[in-house]
């Protein structure tokens, strides 16, 4: 097994990455020595959580950065990071000694360390995470979004690699949370940034601590030690490159020795046994033209024995993500399998930098390798970032803003929540759970109570204070108040209020239907059966349209009492016969042209003077008197206009005139004493209340008072007084 001591890190986009990250880190004379001398008194006697000496860890991190091509300025920053927690005013002190850039780097790195420590502590404490895969991806995003540029990420990668090396050197197992975070967060991030050697070493070390038995088993299965394998691949690379050149094919041949974790991942991803993994030894051939690809393939198949079932032409038939290359597996003189990829430089650049789906293929994990593609805004941003690193070399200016539209905060259980920039505790609550958002009444950020429209920052821990029940405030939908930045959260608030309106409308419709059934003596009838007979899917659907006055109760009456045969013509004409009209009626309703004819006030609209009225001839009950604006009357008149008869209010002769029952509908915020206060208004106005019905839905009271009046005009004035009672939202005649 290969020694895991520190070694130079090469490959990928490391030189461009280092150059770009140092754009904002000014070079200073003797910066490295000054930074070490500055930090040594604080950290020389300190140890990290792992048990490693802090100064020795900082020395090793500076060494890793140097091996990656980092300048003295970048190496100096590693010491300031570890000195920062020991300073009372770190930003002021470091700024004075080294400048703003160094201070910002040290403080942001320490903030990120704190957040990561919280997430690991939660994992070690066994707190459940709803979606571990999503949590892992959010940690990756947070690593980039948390920092103003990639300097913080580079320092964290180097520090984590040193931690794993320290455990390996001391033959101690790294904590599982450290190893898992290294394997699933740091190593894929290094891969996405093109730091291949760091990725491979970190993967092998982390896997060694997570699955020591499997690691040792695969290591034993390898027929050569890693150093020998890499030596063999290098010899094969030089040989193939030289022989292709002799054939007139200019090619760059790269060795691709597989590491233990990569082998295990391929075995699990494709359900292969170790003997079926052909690419333990692998080469990549890069040529100038497409025709050179096929020429190189032809020569390789002539020189070595090809395995026919392992050939794929992704040039003629590219993968869905645009990837192009020739893949073949051949056997050398000793029968050992060698995987060879052949592609042009343009294809190589596309595969390495052009599509996010290539990274998803490499990091497929438990999903396997079939049909995996990486789509989404995050991968697109990474692709842009890598191009900026390679092409513009100006990360500090150009890459700033790639993640400015997202922030990452923590729940009390250290789960990471992704939110839009400018998000508030209310946005956070709705992101965690819709019901949590509805019941949100307060918030603590990093332990301190804050207003609900406070804008959250990266890395903060947010705790929501809730009510047992209730809903959102309408103020949350006011953009000027700044309670919501997320369109998703705003949609949830609007949906809640829409649902409340529906509940209220359904309650109003249910009350009307139940009153009708009670009048008709059909209370035993099932409401769902009634709705079905009327063509509605549910009883609530019926109540909703009735409550909105879009469906007449007359339709229900018609269902309960099917229309009878019309009156014979002669019987109807008797009612039309003119008779001497009483000059002084006793009061009530006078049927024009007909004397002493029985009349009754319709219960659906309960008319009262001076309402405009009309009569409708019924069978056996005389004339039913309706308000002319009654929807039931309009429907009957439209169907049987010949049965409409003219009526008018009679003028009382001395004494007290008749009184008429009318219904008054009141909507109010429910509270103690509400019914008493409204009843007192009617009592003071000398209006007799002969019936009351109340219903409360979601803290809203719906009341129907039946009162006796002699003049409906006076009722309007009384309702104005009722509307002024505390909590009353509307008072109207039914």
Cβ–Cβ under 8 Å, residues 435 and 484: no
User: CA-CA distance, 496 to 503, in Å (whole number)?
Assistant: 11
Q: Which two tokens stand for residue 279?
A: 């690419």
User: CA-CA distance, 593 to 588, in Å (whole number)?
Assistant: 15
- Phi/psi for 599 (5° steps) reads -130, 155
Q: What is the pLDDT of residue 360?
A: 38
Q: Which two tokens stand for residue 136?
A: 């892992």
Per-run averaged pLDDT (10 residues), the chain, 734 residues: 42 47 59 90 89 92 82 83 88 87 82 74 56 60 58 84 93 87 82 71 91 84 65 85 90 78 77 63 90 92 89 86 83 85 85 41 40 41 40 36 66 77 92 90 90 87 88 90 90 88 89 86 82 85 85 80 51 40 49 64 84 84 85 85 84 66 88 86 85 80 86 83 89 85
Q: Which residues contact 562 (CB under 8 A, 6 or more apart)?
A: none
Cβ–Cβ under 8 Å, residues 291 and 305: no
Q: What is the pLDDT of residue 582?
A: 42
CB 52: neighbour CB atoms within 10 A?
18
Q: What is the pLDDT of residue 425?
A: 95
Residue with tokens 């009061």: 587
- Whole-number Cα distances in Å, 56 to 3, 107, 127, 447: 20, 21, 33, 34
Q: What is the pLDDT of residue 452?
A: 93
**Distance between first and last Cα of the chain:** 89
Q: What is the pLDDT of residue 132?
A: 58
Q: What is the pLDDT of residue 392?
A: 30
User: CA-CA distance, 297 to 341, in Å (whole number)?
Assistant: 9
Beta strands in 11-78 (DSSP E): none
Q: 561-595 as b/e, with b when 16 or more CB fall inside 10 Å?
A: eeeeeebeeeeeeebeeeeeeeeebebebbbeebe
Q: How is 252-319 classified by DSSP, letter by letter?
A: EEEE-PPPHHHHHHHHHHTT--GGG-GGGSEEEEEESSHHHHHHHHHHHHHHSEE-GGG-EETTTS--
Closest CA to 138 of 408, 414, 527: 408
Q: What is the pLDDT of residue 5?
A: 38
Q: Report residue 612 CA to chain centroid gap.
A: 57
User: CA-CA distance, 406 to 427, in Å (whole number)?
Assistant: 13
Strand, helix or coil at 533?
helix
Q: What is the pLDDT of residue 146?
A: 55
User: CA-CA distance, 560 to 573, in Å (whole number)?
Assistant: 29
Residue with tokens 């959102």: 472
| Backbone CA torsion sign across 499, 504, 505, 507 | positive
- Whether omega for the bond prior to residue 528 falls within 30 degrees of 0, making it cis, is no
Q: What is the pLDDT of residue 410?
A: 78
State the alpha helices, DSSP H only, in 612-731: 631-639, 674-684, 712-723
Cβ–Cβ under 8 Å, residues 175 and 426: no
Q: For the chain, give me the number of helices (H) and strands (E)?
A: 29, 21
Q: Which residues contact 527 (CB under 8 A, 6 or more apart)?
A: 510, 513, 539, 542
Q: Which pTM was predicted? A: 0.49
CB 303: neighbour CB atoms within 10 A?
15
Domains of the chain, first to last: 14-208 (1.10.3210.10), 226-367 (3.30.460.10), 406-470 (3.10.20.30), 496-551 (no CATH), 569-649 (no CATH), 660-733 (3.30.70.260)
- pLDDT, tens digit, 9 for 90 and up, residues 648-675: 887 665 556 678 888 888 888 888 888 8
Residue with tokens 């066994």: 126
Closest CA to 201 of 9, 1, 361, 17: 9
- Whole-number Cα distances in Å, 431 to 296, 315, 418, 509: 54, 44, 8, 35
Q: Which two tokens stand for residue 575?
A: 């009612």
Q: Report residue 582 CA to chain centroid gap.
A: 77
Strand, helix or coil at 18?
helix
């Amino acid at each position: 097994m290969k020694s895991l001591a520190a070694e130079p890190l090469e490959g990928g986009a490391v030189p461009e990455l280092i150059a770009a990250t140092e754009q904002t880190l000014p070079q200073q004379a003797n910066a490295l020595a000054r930074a070490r001398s500055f930090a040594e008194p604080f950290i020389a006697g300190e140890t990290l959580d792992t048990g490693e000496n802090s100064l020795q860890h900082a020395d090793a991190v500076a060494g890793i950065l140097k091996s990656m091509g980092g300048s003295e300025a970048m190496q100096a920053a590693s010491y300031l990071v570890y000195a920062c927690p020991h300073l009372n005013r770190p930003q002021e002190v470091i700024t004075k000694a080294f400048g703003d850039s160094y201070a910002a780097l040290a403080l942001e790195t320490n903030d990120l360390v704190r957040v990561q420590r919280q997430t690991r502590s939660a994992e070690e404490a066994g707190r459940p995470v709803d979606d571990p895969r999503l949590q892992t991806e959010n940690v990756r995003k947070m690593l980039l979004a948390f920092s103003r540029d990639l300097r913080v990420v580079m320092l964290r990668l180097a520090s984590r690699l040193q931690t794993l090396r320290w455990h390996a050197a001391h033959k101690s197992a790294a904590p599982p949370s450290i190893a898992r975070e290294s394997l699933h967060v740091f190593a894929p991030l290094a891969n996405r940034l093109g730091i291949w050697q760091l990725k491979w070493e970190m993967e092998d070390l982390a896997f060694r601590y997570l699955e020591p038995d499997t690691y040792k088993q695969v290591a034993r299965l390898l027929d050569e030690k890693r150093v020998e394998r890499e030596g063999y691949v290098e010899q094969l690379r030089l040989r193939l490159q030289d022989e292709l050149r002799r054939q007139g094919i200019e090619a760059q041949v790269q060795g691709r020795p597989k590491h233990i974790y990569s082998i295990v991942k391929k075995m699990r991803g494709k359900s292969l046994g170790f003997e079926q993994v052909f690419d333990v030894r692998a080469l990549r051939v890069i040529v100038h033209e497409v025709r050179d690809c096929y020429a190189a393939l032809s020569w390789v198949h002539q020189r070595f024995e090809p395995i026919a079932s392992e050939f794929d032409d992704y040039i003629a038939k590219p993968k869905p993500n645009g990837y192009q290359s020739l893949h073949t597996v051949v056997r050398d003189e000793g029968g050992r399998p060698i995987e060879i990829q052949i592609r042009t430089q343009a294809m190589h650049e596309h595969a390495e930098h052009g599509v996010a789906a290539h990274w998803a293929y490499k990091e497929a994990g438990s999903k396997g390798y079939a049909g995996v593609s990486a789509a989404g805004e995050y991968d697109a941003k990474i692709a842009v970032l890598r191009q900026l690193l390679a092409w513009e070399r100006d990360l500090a200016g150009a890459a700033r803003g790639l993640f400015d539209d997202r922030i990452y905060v923590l729940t009390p259980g250290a789960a990471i929540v992704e939110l839009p920039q400018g998000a508030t505790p209310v946005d956070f609550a709705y992101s965690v759970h819709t019901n949590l958002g509805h019941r949100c009444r307060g918030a603590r950020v990093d332990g301190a109570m804050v207003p609900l429209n406070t804008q959250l920052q990266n890395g903060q821990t947010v705790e929501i204070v809730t009510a047992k029940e209730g809903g959102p405030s309408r103020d949350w939908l006011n953009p000027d108040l700044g309670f919501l930045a997320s369109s998703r959260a705003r949609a949830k608030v609007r949906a809640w209020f829409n649902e409340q309106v529906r509940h209220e409308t359904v309650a109003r419709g249910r009350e009307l239907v139940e009153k009708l059934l009670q009048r008709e003596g059909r209370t035993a009838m099932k409401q769902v059966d009634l709705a079905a007979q009327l063509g509605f899917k549910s009883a609530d659907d019926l109540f909703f349209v009735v409550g909105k006055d879009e469906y007449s109760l007359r339709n229900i009456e018609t269902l309960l009492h099917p229309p009878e045969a019309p009156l014979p013509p002669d019987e109807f004409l008797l009612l039309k016969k003119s008779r001497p009209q009483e000059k002084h009626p006793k009061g009530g309703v006078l049927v024009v042209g007909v004397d002493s004819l029985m009349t009754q006030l319709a219960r659906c609209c309960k008319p009262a003077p001076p309402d405009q009225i009309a009569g409708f001839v019924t069978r056996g009950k005389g004339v039913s008197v309706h308000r002319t604006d009654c929807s039931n009357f309009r429907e009957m008149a439209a169907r049987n206009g010949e049965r409409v008869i003219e009526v008018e209010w009679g003028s009382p002769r001395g004494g007290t005139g008749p009184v008429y029952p009318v219904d008054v509908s009141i909507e109010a915020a429910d509270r103690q004493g509400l019914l008493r206060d409204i009843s007192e208004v009617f009592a003071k106005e000398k209006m007799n209340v002969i019936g009351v019905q109340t219903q409360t839905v979601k803290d809203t009271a719906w009341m129907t008072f039946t009162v006796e009046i002699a003049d409906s005009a006076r009722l309007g004035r009384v309702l104005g007084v009722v509307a002024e009672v505390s909590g009353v939202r509307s008072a109207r005649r039914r």
